[in-house]
Structure 1
């Protein structure tokens, strides 16, 4: 039976293994029980892949210096983190040993194990943050080195009332934070009228995927001002008072890859950088898409664009 030495103990029952070019273990999959002694207690990597919700991923991986990089746990455990005791089934780490990402559950979604099945297993986690005190089921928590929360990813089914620099709002998908804990961004649940430097913009991103909450469509500066916003409905007419030139920016449409008889919206992103405002839709416009705020007049029209999710079964 193949075995290797690690900083955390001997690994036995290795069914597959990969090494770095220097000879240290990069990752391996196990088929028997192993107990690794870590700063977070004894961790048992995944070894029983026979159950329906087991993902086809490695049991454990390491940095080239031998430090733990990730671990897929055999069973969900309670683990001590910078924000308290949390449930964990998959954990990634920084090179210094701090927890990077924590997933309370790590099941594989198939026809035999649905997202609804996984959701039912999740438990609410309590957070006391700048956005308020909340208790929600979450998909993952992303930490900065040192332990402060970088982002939280919610289940798609959930919407959360949070406190923001522009008032209370319903958030979906996730929220992201600055290292000092201030809100950096969130994903609005529905069309939300937001006051900006050019007027009221209706914020909503039809292309928000819900994979993670690291980056979102409504972004704040550290001072709490709007620095970036995504709209799926608004048409902005920009008149340059010096040149008399007029430009129009709006969400675009593309043929749906799911239903050829329908169109998908390409949202418009508006960014505020100092005294300038920029417009883009996933790619740059062919015409100038940047202007100086005090040199232009802005006329905003809210368009009535119908939107429905292509995934009718999404929870």
Structure 2
């Protein structure tokens, strides 16, 4: 009698399990249906079950969780064993897990062994795991764009000769790239980035009048057109503005091959606005495609500009409409401590007006006949003052400017301002 009751209870329980309806409309044996952290429905399966997707039925294991978007499409699921899917990028045997976009397109999964990926840049052997073992599988997925093309894949390779590199096709010819690294693609299928083979070179480096090779382990990126965008050369390059770039630091070039971002080498000098500017080494230098500087850090020490002591230094004359460099000619102090002396970072708009100036040493901004001591100032594109960081005890000319401090409606600057308060200044 007890045995019959137990069997009846099991039968009723099994019937209840198979009666649950998943968000995609399938009836499935589930233990429970809850909401995940994002509010999506999550079903815990009581036994292995085939989940309907755009790639056919994929089997999820017992006790695993399948999550769904609000529209009923699968968001993520675990996979039981190896299963085959056919995507826009080709047919793949996959395992472990699959994630999907809300449209139902595959977003991420893991490969079963080494397989081939055919792309515009060539055919590559790809894997979900490196040769060191399956423990790193979760770090090496095959990822897709929502249009179905591959976003990134991990190149298979070993230390054996012939498996350390692969060949990629580019508009500048074939290039050797390192395996056991990710290769990344645009939605169009064009190559976006890869790791060049150690000691390799490319035709575009020759066009830059350099015999440099790619620095070991660096990344090479491309524009969607296929033209090179950024890379790290093993030796310095000659910038079109006359100075040298720092070896083993990233260089960015425009699609027509001009350097537009780099780190200057030591003792680099730039001739700009009729003046010779000493570029600070190890600080970014960026320029627009017409070669006008976008960002540069310069050392004004050799120009004998005094910072701080008498609130003299670099002046920006707002009445002139362009930055005017002024200051007192003095001897450099015998000791400036650990703070770089006379170094200032300047950023410009594409309209060739000053965008901001930042220094670790105080300098002065002229507003009419008055000067405001600061270490950080921002300008609007018409060169009107936008924002300024007030140095301690800076005298603000209230007769020519209105200072607005966010902590008070009508502040008295000398009372309400704290040390290094950021203020917005507007002319009256």
The TM-score normalised by the length of structure 1 is: 0.63
CA distance in structure 2 between the aligned counterparts of 1:36 and 1:91, rounded to whole angstroms: 13
CA distance in structure 1 between the aligned counterparts of 2:173 and 2:91, rounded to whole angstroms: 33
CA distance in structure 2 between the aligned counterparts of 1:70 and 1:224, rounded to whole angstroms: 35
User: 1:202: which partner in 2?
Assistant: 245
User: 1:262: which partner in 2?
Assistant: none
CA distance in structure 1 between the aligned counterparts of 2:173 and 2:194, rounded to whole angstroms: 13
Give, in angstroms, the shift of residue 275 of structure 1: 4.9
Q: Residue 213 of structure 2: which of 162, 170, 184 is its match?
A: 170
Q: Residue 186 of structure 2: which of 111, 132, 144 is its match?
A: 144
Change (3 A) 1:44 1:160: same
Task: Map 1:13-32 onto structure 2 (within 5 A).
Answer: 13-14=60-61, 15-32=64-81
Bigger radius of gyration among the two: 2
Q: Which runs of 5+ in 1 are unaligned?
A: 48-58, 106-117, 207-216, 252-266, 295-315
CA distance in structure 1 between the aligned counterparts of 2:271 and 2:158, rounded to whole angstroms: 49
Q: Counting helix residues as a fraction of each chain, which structure ranks higher?
A: 2
The answer to whether 1:72 aligns with 2:117 is no
The TM-score normalised by the length of structure 2 is: 0.48
Is the partner of 1:203 in helix, strand or coil?
Answer: coil
Task: Map 1:100-111 onto structure 2 (within 5 A).
Answer: 100-105=151-156
Change (3 A) 1:229 1:186: same
Task: Map 1:39-54 onto structure 2 (within 5 A).
Answer: 39-47=88-96
Q: How many residues align?
A: 236
Give, in angstroms, the shift of residue 271 of structure 1: 1.0
CA distance in structure 2 between the aligned counterparts of 1:37 and 1:291, rounded to whole angstroms: 49
CA distance in structure 1 between the aligned counterparts of 2:346 and 2:88, rounded to whole angstroms: 54
Give, in angstroms, the shift of residue 75 of structure 1: 0.9
Contact 1:72 1:91 in 2 (8 A): yes
Is the partner of 1:64 in helix, strand or coil?
Answer: coil
The answer to whether 1:153 aligns with 2:153 is no
User: 2:332: which partner in 1?
Assistant: none
User: 2:418: which partner in 1?
Assistant: none
Give, in angstroms, the shift of residue 248 of structure 1: 5.0
Task: Map 1:51-130 onto structure 2 (within 5 A).
Answer: 59-89=97-127, 90-105=141-156, 119-120=158-159, 122-130=163-171
Contact 1:271 1:279 in 2 (8 A): yes
Change (3 A) 1:230 1:20: farther
Change (3 A) 1:154 1:31: farther
Change (3 A) 1:291 1:38: closer
Is the partner of 1:279 in helix, strand or coil?
Answer: strand
Moved more, 129-138 or 6-15: 129-138
Contact 1:92 1:100 in 2 (8 A): yes
* CA RMSD, 1 decimal: 3.3
Contact 1:276 1:291 in 2 (8 A): no
Q: Which runs of 5+ in 2 are unaligned?
A: 1-47, 128-140, 298-342, 353-428
The answer to whether 1:277 aligns with 2:320 is no
**Higher RCO (C-alpha under 8 Å, 6+ residues apart):** 1
User: 1:34: which partner in 2?
Assistant: 83
CA distance in structure 2 between the aligned counterparts of 1:69 and 1:12, rounded to whole angstroms: 17
Change (3 A) 1:45 1:290: same
Q: Counting strand residues as a fraction of each chain, which structure ranks higher?
A: 1
Contact 1:230 1:270 in 2 (8 A): yes
Q: Residue 257 of structure 2: which of 224, 233, 252 is its match?
A: 224
CA distance in structure 2 between the aligned counterparts of 1:291 and 1:239, rounded to whole angstroms: 19
